[in-house]
Amino acid sequence: MRNRPGAVAALIGGAVLACGAAAGPTQVGVTVTGLRSHKGQILACLTTNPRAFPDCSKDPQARKLTVALSGSGETGPVRLDFGAVPQGRYAISLIHDENGNGRLDTTMAIPREGYGFSRDAPVRMGPPRFDKAAFDLGAAAQNLDIRMRYLL
């Protein structure tokens, strides 16, 4: 049998390209439901770092979005787009910053504004842990629904 270095190189190159394509960036989008108003803005955070969840301030690699709301009386869903992100394990946290001051307002440690997490992670005496909100992002685009919750 004859050695064909060009064919072997083409085969290896094709395999490398195929593996690279499978591990490439993937689109992540969120539909936010349950808003009680369209006042203020939504602060969103997408992170792979469990220690930086839920506020992402300790993760320089986190994707953060600030989406201004219309201020109208409608309360329908709002779409967020994180764009293309590398594949991996992520968690998302949202704040409905109704007064637009850039943070979650609280009264005696109880949130006065809305919040939400990927996988509708339960809140018990504080925000959920990363693993409760985490989802695996593969090659297929991910579109999540996150429901806002309000306590006050």
Q: With bands split at pLDDT 50, 70 and 90, how would you rate the model's confidence at 104? A: very high
Q: Is the domain defined by 25-147 classed in CATH 2.60.40?
A: yes
| Residue 127: closest CA among 109, 145, 101, 144 | 109
- Residue 2 pLDDT exceeds 90: no
Q: With bands split at pLDDT 50, 70 and 90, how would you rate the model's confidence at 17? A: very low
Kindly report the average pLDDT of the chain as a whole number. Answer: 87
Is residue 42 a contact partner of residue 69, using CB atoms and an 8 Å limit?
A: yes
Query: In this predicted model, what pLDDT tens digit does every residue of 56-70 receive, in sequence order?
Result: 999 999 999 999 998
